[in-house]
């Protein structure tokens, strides 16, 4: 239910449901369920701007996913954690988390995860002034998003790529996007 509430934007209800689910999973010893509840709770906290709590829960989800050998759970936790780290200004940690997530998504052949992570990675590189790496990540995200028919991912890549091009004086290229 917490995930459904998150999708509808009812973050208070999502948090309450996810905290209840987390308690139940811990009581039952359901470690995969615990990792999933922690990840989703961290995602809700990210969406509401509670980055400290989000990072803590995502790190716990990451540790559990690794301990369980759940590589997709690990990739998801790393990608979301990287996003939180970027939003809080810890770009070095964000880049490291996102690079690890990308490697896992590539190994697992999860293209939606790759595209989303490449968008986040491009945004992180842009913040450091590494516009060449930013553009490369964003171009790759754009190609993947288009191939998948992911219009939101495509829009995100185009927006960030346009920002990189405008920042680097490539106004014609930015306008053409």
Whether residues 1 and 86 fall in one domain: yes
CATH number of the domain residue 87 falls in = 1.25.40.10
Confidence (pTM)? 0.92
Whether residues 63 and 29 fall in one domain: yes
Whether residues 85 and 138 fall in one domain: no
Total domains, the chain: 2
Query: How many CA atoms does the CB half-sphere of 86 hold within 13 Å?
Result: 23
Query: How many CA atoms does the CB half-sphere of 116 hold within 13 Å?
Result: 18
Bin 69: left if φ > 0, else alpha if -120 < ψ < 50, else beta.
Answer: left
Whether residues 61 and 4 fall in one domain: yes
Bin 129: left if φ > 0, else alpha if -120 < ψ < 50, else beta.
Answer: left
Whether residues 121 and 82 fall in one domain: no
Whether residues 19 and 75 fall in one domain: yes
Residue 97 falls inside a structural domain:
no
For the chain, 177 residues long, give each residue's pLDDT as a single digit of tens: 998 999 999 999 999 999 999 999 999 999 999 999 999 999 999 999 999 999 999 999 999 999 999 999 999 999 999 999 999 999 999 999 999 999 999 999 999 999 999 999 999 999 999 999 999 999 999 999 999 999 999 999 999 999 999 998 887 776 776
Residue 98 falls inside a structural domain:
no
Using CA atoms, how far apart are residues 16 and 135, in angstroms rounded to an integer? 40
Boundaries of domain holding 78: 1-91
What integer pLDDT is reported at residue 177 of this predicted model?
63
Residue 169 falls inside a structural domain:
yes
Residue 105 falls inside a structural domain:
no
Whether residues 87 and 162 fall in one domain: no
Give Cα separations from 24 to 12, 17, 19 (angstroms): 19, 11, 9
What integer pLDDT is reported at residue 103 of this predicted model?
98
Whether residues 72 and 123 fall in one domain: no
Whether residues 80 and 162 fall in one domain: no
Whether residues 86 and 117 fall in one domain: no
Using CA atoms, how far apart are residues 128 and 18, in angstroms rounded to an integer? 35
What integer pLDDT is reported at residue 62 of this predicted model?
98
Whether residues 120 and 77 fall in one domain: no
């Amino acid at each position: 239910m917490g995930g459904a509430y998150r999708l509808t934007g009812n973050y208070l209800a999502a948090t309450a449901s996810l905290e209840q689910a987390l308690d139940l999973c811990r009581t039952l010893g359901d470690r995969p369920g615990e990792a999933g509840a922690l990840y989703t709770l961290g995602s809700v906290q990210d969406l509401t701007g509670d980055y400290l709590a989000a990072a803590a829960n995502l790190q716990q989800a990451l540790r559990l996913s690794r301990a369980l050998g759940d590589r997709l759970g690990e990739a998801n936790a790393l990608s979301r954690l990287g996003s939180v780290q970027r939003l809080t200004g810890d770009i070095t940690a964000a880049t490291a988390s996102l690079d690890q997530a990308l490697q896992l998504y590539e190994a697992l052949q999860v293209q939606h995860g790759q595209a989303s992570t490449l968008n986040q990675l491009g945004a992180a590189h842009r913040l450091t002034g590494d516009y060449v790496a930013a553009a490369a990540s964003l171009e790759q995200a754009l190609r993947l998003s288009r191939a998948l028919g992911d219009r939101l991912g495509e829009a995100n890549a185009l927006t960030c790529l346009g920002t990189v091009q405008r920042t680097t004086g490539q106004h014609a290229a930015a306008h053409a996007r």
